[in-house]
Amino acid sequence: MDTDKKLSAEELAELRRQLKRELAGEIEDRPKSDDTDDESSPLFVESKVVTVSIAEDQMSASVTLSVPLGNELYNVPEIIRELRANKVVLGIQSQVIMEMVNLGQYETETVVAVGKEVVPGVEGYYEFLVDMEEHKTPEIREDGTVDYTAVGKLTNVAEGDKIAIYHPAVQGTRGFTVCGAELLPKFAKDLPVLRGKFISHNEEFEYFATRDGRISYSNYNVEILDVYEINEDITLNFGKVEFYGDIIINGNVETGSSIRAGRNITINGTVANARISAGGDITLTRGIQGNGQGRVTTRGNVFAEFIEYAVVEAAGDVFSNYILESNVSAGGKLIADGNRGSVIGGTVHGLLGVEIKNAGTKIEQRTVIHAGFKQEDYHRFSELSKQENAINNNLANLVGELSDLLKIARERGLNGSQKEEVARLNEKKDEAYAELDSISLKKKELGEKMAKSAGAAIVVKGEVNCNTVITIDAAATIIGKTETYLKYLCRNDEIVRRTI
């Protein structure tokens, strides 16, 4: 039978008559028995059957009605009783059941109970109205070079600017299954309140700047930094530039100039043979031509269009399009992997690794690329260990001499010169312990640095030319012929290659 096709009233009546005749004939053919009227007897046939099906996730339940015999008809209460007998207690749709009964929907599985899905909550979040991201993704220019100088830019704000709106957490709505189980939504958490000296907020959770400056954000702490902006070239006549906050120079920095900032430095002009030092990041939008004497040092990162004939030392990362005949050291990574990113001549170092496009030149200009722990750091660690041993030996002698004098003091007392000697030895002992503490701290720093650099690699996404020195930790190799697209690693104190 096509169960999807609804039967007409005439067809249903004929079907009932046929079933009734077949049932009567089957009963007449069977032996008579005293218990034929017992509903538990095999001879008893139910005139109406309600089949209940529950979804695996218990979020819905369906009913299938058999074709009733004789003049028997279904009613809504008996179907609901059958649902409850099968533990379907919630989400029952009486209107759907009534339609089934009225329309005679037989031998068709119909959903008659539906659970309620959990409505998830929304975590609290901040809508920032100014760009809070300090380190952004570098921009690729049309010529393939990379604008690393856009990475470290901060946003300027004015007093009264709205900087953020907080949207509190909204808790979700509970749900249930058709079998009565309660479904609980995950608790939506609120975020901490923004902190900072120069911000305020109102009852609508709107945050405002209370002074002009450059905005910086980290871990729910907002700083609005003082900015010293100079709209002219820095020459020897200008004098030394020093400021505890940020410095922005919208001009060139000429030979002999000195610039020092407590936080970030941004120079939107060329930089010649100058000394630049910062506690934060240094951004050189038009690079540096150091003429062999220019020096850049920072406890943050360096972002430069190019670096030529200069010394650059950064505790963080160094990003540049190309580096020419310079000595560059990064406490993080050194990256020059734009379309024309190259390191030509000089020495570059990245404690955590180096990623460049090309190394060296076709004319075999000596170029040193180093990653990992520096050789001089190994020597320094070894030297500190020797100093530590020497001080410990000296300390043992001092303690021995003091023990002898203290023994004399217990036996017969000390004269004036012996008392002075005890004081001198105690002073020397204190100095020795102070030196040991200092050496221990330095060795610890070097040990942490060594652990941090573990697994450092040199990745070249183009060519490594002849006479390029690849060195990782204490291992080194000189490239004898041009190599391409390689990752260099240190394994068992030897340089190994992996294709990329």
In tens, the pLDDT along 80-101 reads 999 999 999 999 999 999 999 9
Which of these three, 452, 470, 489, is where a domain ends? 452
Band (pLDDT 50/70/90 cuts) for residue 217 is: confident
| Average pLDDT along the chain | 87
Same domain membership, residue 229 and residue 356: yes
Same domain membership, residue 362 and residue 257: yes
Question: Is pLDDT above 50 for 53?
Answer: yes
CA distances to 118, 185, 195, 303 from 174, rounded to whole Å, are 5, 6, 34, 51
Which of these three, 90, 114, 138, is where a domain ends? 114
pTM over 0.95: no
Report the run of H or E that residue 265 belongs to, with start and end. strand 265-267
Give the pLDDT of residue 412.
Answer: 84
Distance CA 357, CA 361 (A): 12
How large is the greatest C-alpha to C-alpha distance in the chain, in angstroms? 137
The answer to whether 311 and 324 have CB atoms below 8 angstroms apart is no
The answer to whether 466 and 479 have CB atoms below 8 angstroms apart is yes
Pairing of strands 146-147, 139-140: antiparallel
Give the pLDDT of residue 78.
Answer: 92
Give the pLDDT of residue 12.
Answer: 54
Task: Please identify which residue in the block is written with the tokens 């060519």.
Answer: 463
In a domain, 178, yes or no: yes
Partners of 207 in beta bridges: 164, 201
> What's the number of CA atoms in the CB half-sphere (13 Å) around residue 109?
8
Same domain membership, residue 402 and residue 360: no
Give the pLDDT of residue 253.
Answer: 96
Other beta carbons within 10 angstroms of residue 330's beta carbon come to: 25
Give the pLDDT of residue 338.
Answer: 74
User: Count of domains in the chain?
Assistant: 4
Same domain membership, residue 108 and residue 193: no
Pairing of strands 307-314, 322-330: parallel
In a domain, 119, yes or no: no
Give the pLDDT of residue 153.
Answer: 62
Side chain identity at 489, as an amino acid letter? L
Question: Is pLDDT above 60 for 347?
Answer: yes
Give the pLDDT of residue 42.
Answer: 37
**Average pLDDT of span 315-342:** 92
* Encoded tokens for 375: 């050789």
In a domain, 482, yes or no: yes
Distance CA 457, CA 497 (A): 10
Task: Please identify which residue in the block is written with the tokens 């096709």.
Answer: 5
Same domain membership, residue 46 and residue 185: no
Partners of 249 in beta bridges: 230, 267
At 485, give phi and psi (nearest 5°): 50, 65
In a domain, 472, yes or no: yes
Which of these three, 207, 224, 241, is where a domain ends? 224
Question: Is pLDDT above 70 for 22?
Answer: no
Band (pLDDT 50/70/90 cuts) for residue 377 is: confident
In a domain, 120, yes or no: no
Among 149-163, 391-405, 453-467, whose mean pLDDT is lowest?
149-163
Summarize pLDDT for 37-46 with one digit per residue, the tens: 444 333 334 6
Same domain membership, residue 233 and residue 296: yes
The answer to whether 457 and 482 have CB atoms below 8 angstroms apart is no
Closest CA to 478 of 465, 460, 487, 491: 465
Containing domain of residue 325, as a range?
225-375+455-499
In a domain, 3, yes or no: no
**Average pLDDT of span 279-290:** 95
Same domain membership, residue 322 and residue 212: no
Same domain membership, residue 311 and residue 215: no
Kindly give, in sequence order, each residue whose CB lies less than 8 Å from that of residue 416, ignoring residues fewer than 6 positions away.
none
Output 417 or 71, whichever has higher pLDDT: 417
Give the pLDDT of residue 318.
Answer: 96
Same domain membership, residue 91 and residue 215: no
Distance CA 100, CA 242 (A): 86
Question: Is pLDDT above 60 for 23?
Answer: no
Same domain membership, residue 365 and residue 421: no
In a domain, 4, yes or no: no
In a domain, 429, yes or no: yes
Same domain membership, residue 67 and residue 92: yes
Residue 32 is given by DSSP the state P
Give the pLDDT of residue 469.
Answer: 97
Distance CA 447, CA 443 (A): 6
Same domain membership, residue 422 and residue 327: no
Output 411 or 106, whichever has higher pLDDT: 106
Report the run of H or E that residue 4 belongs to, with start and end. none
